[in-house]
Amino acid sequence: MNFSKLTAYLDSLEGAYEVHGLDCKIMRGHETLYRHMAGQSDPAGRTPITAQSLFDIYSCTKLITMTAVMQLVETGKIGLDDELQQYLPEFERMQVAVDFRIGEWPFAWPTLASPLVRAERPILIHQLMSMTAGLSYDVFSESIQQVKRETDNRATTREIVRAIARMPLVAQPGARFSYGLGHDVLAAVVEVVSGMSFGAYLRQNLFEPLRIAEMFFQVPEQEKHRLVKQYRRDFNTGEIAPCSDMIFRLSAGSESGGAGLTCTVDSYSMVLSALANGGVGANGARILQQESIDLLRENRLNGQQMQDFSRAGKVGYGYGLGVRTLVDGRHAKSPIGEFGWDGAAGAYALVDPVNQISIFYAQQVIGLFKVYSEIHPSIRDLAYEAMEITGNGANE
């Protein structure tokens, strides 16, 4: 195996995209095949990226949340076809915007002042997972801002989710794919079913079994010096500058199932490695059955929903239960059924159960949209080229 092209590519990202710090780890089985860190963790350039660096992984949190939900599905405590209102009654009477056009840009999320109609059917658990429930991603909605004001920005997961229930849907449940706050809602479902906070559930049922110590919703004060500084690309000017804004965290007191976690690359890679190896971690702990992993990566979208999802620019992918899943391998060097997700600051997770491969890449630049269309596919293809694995899983 020769990873020199991948290393050269990663080293080029600072000059090409102003990615000032990154970490990339590839595993097969539970062994590390490749690891490369580059750049600095602070704008002054004094602190190099190390294995101890902490990255805000944003929506890569969603894969953790999906694992937790599927654990509860396995034990019969949640059904994929269950109605959400069974667990969270505040979602019983939802309203739907009548004139929101999914996929148009620019756009404004609907409000309670928009033309609305009653939802024709209840939201189901699997719709929350597959982003077909109709929820928006309006983190600045009046209901969320109100509860943040009332709690001095300490609103709990349940309080935030009650605020989400007061927001109008952008489509009828089950009708369209719309990337939204459904996984934050599922964190509250986990709390109701388990009787624990979402973070406590993850610690007991996922992190501790895999012996993961560094996966945080709130980074301890004594560890904050390890955080890789975040940057933001200005949409209008293209300028990239340091930015401390954490808009997707919703509140300092919530444990966001959609975008809340901060961790090291090693910690997150332990979860990916387990998912790539039949749900079993390096220490032998099982976090999921293979059948549950296969359900996660089964495409759930119909024709219209695939059109909606295609606007995300993930060429060749459909969307399963909270993960992209490769359904057309003509433009990828990974095999059909490879799955994962990514994060707002550029984190990228790939799980390949066919070859027991996992890839995790982390950086800290919000608003760098080319990370999804250019950087992530390049990392994927250069990695598979180096491993000499074809898309069908056979060695060349």
Per DSSP, the residues of 17-39 read H---EEEEEEEETTEEEEEEEEE
- Domain ranges, residue 142: 72-194
Residue 299 lies in a domain: yes
Residue 183 lies in a domain: yes
Domain end residue (candidates: 194, 216, 240): 194
Domain termination site, one of 171, 194, 217? 194
pLDDT at 396 over 70: no
- Considering the domain architecture, whether residues 303 and 350 belong to the same structural domain is answered as yes
Residues 336, 316, single domain; the answer is yes
Q: Is pLDDT above 50 for 147?
A: yes
Check residue 395 and give its pLDDT: 41
The answer to whether residues 188 and 203 belong to one domain is no
Q: Which of 38-47, 242-251, 297-306 has the highest mean pLDDT?
A: 297-306
pLDDT at 392 exceeding the cut of 60: no
- How is residue 42 written in tokens? 């602070």
- Does residue 394 fall inside a structural domain? no
CATH code of the domain covering residue 361:
3.40.710.10
Residues 177 and 206 grouped into a single domain = no
Residues 161 and 251 in one domain: no
Phi, then psi, of 318 in degrees rounded to 5: -105, -165
Q: Domain check: are 259 and 367 in the same one? A: yes
pLDDT of residue 244: 81
| Tokens (6 digits) for 106 | 């620019």
Pair 204, 189 in one domain: no
Identify the CA nearest to 85 among candidates 130, 135, 129, 121: 121
Q: Name the domain count of the chain.
A: 2
pLDDT digits (tens, 9 = 90+) for 79-104: 999 999 999 999 999 999 999 999 88
396 assigned to some structural domain? no
The pTM (predicted TM-score) of the whole model is 0.96
Tell me, yes or no, whether 53 and 104 share the same domain: no
Same domain for 76 and 45? no
Q: Under a CB-based contact definition with an 8 Å cutoff, are residues 335 and 355 in contact?
A: yes
Q: What is the pLDDT of residues 152-205, one digit of tens each?
A: 999 999 999 999 999 999 999 999 999 999 999 999 999 999 999 999 999 999
In this structure, the answer to whether residues 108 and 189 fall within a common structural domain is yes
> Are both 337 and 282 inside the same structural domain?
yes
- For residues 167 and 205, state if they share a domain: no
